[in-house]
Amino acid sequence: MREHKVPEWYIDSCRKIKYMFPKAHAAAYVMMAFRIAWFKVHIPQAYYAAYFTIRAKAFEAEFMIFGKEKVKAKMKEIEELGNAATPKDKDMYDDLELVLEMYERGFKFLPIDLYKSHATKFLLEEEGLRPPINSISGMGTVAAEGLYNAAQEKPFNSIEDVKKRAKIGNATIDSLRKFGCFKGIPESDQMSLFDVI
């Protein structure tokens, strides 16, 4: 250091202060990690709901809410990609690991529901975690919020009513149909003579 003309006071400080990173900052990180670990052990479903809502980067309901076999299959598929795996694949793998852990601990996901699911937040229910509407692949936040807000106003009369009030297109309708979100909702607002008889 002296060769590079570092002041003597700095050299003395380095000898006296072996730990250059502020200890309070490190202590704050440890406390935060301890709190997170406490929730993961003692209130696990709340931990998973918060994690998936805030931290999950590539949560796709299609691969994650239908049981651990589907999760394991997707993890294997990503592993087989090796170096060809995209950053999104790697993010999804991280999320899949936590989903698998959740299943191994005996917790489950509930089906996505137009009336019970939130637009963007995982909801903690007695039977399990309810994924948000935007966890469906290809479902943007704007479309999910439109659906959520329309469902909160009043029940949908038909799938046509869903499209009109939520301002969504056919691709979104097809995605929702794939997840069974339209059970009990007729296709059209028009009544058939045979429905009345």
Condensed to tens digits (0 to 9), the pLDDT of residues 141-179 reads 999 999 999 999 999 999 999 999 999 999 999 999 999
Query: What pLDDT is recorded for position 113?
Result: 95
Side chain identity at 171, as an amino acid letter?
A: A
How far is 66 from 185, CA to CA, in rounded Å?
Answer: 23
Tally of CA atoms within 13 A in the half-sphere of 32 that contains its CB: 6
Condensed to tens digits (0 to 9), the pLDDT of residues 49-99 reads 999 999 998 999 999 999 999 999 999 999 999 999 999 999 999 999 999
Q: Average pLDDT over the chain, rounded to whole?
A: 91
Domains of the chain: 28-107 (1.10.150.870), 110-189 (1.10.150.870)
Please state the separation of Cα 111 from the chain's center in Å. Answer: 14
Condensed to tens digits (0 to 9), the pLDDT of residues 12-44 reads 888 877 666 677 888 899 999 999 999 999 999
> Could you tell me if 114 and 176 are in contact, meaning their C-beta atoms sit under 8 angstroms apart?
yes
Position 184 confidence tier, pLDDT thresholds 50, 70, 90? confident
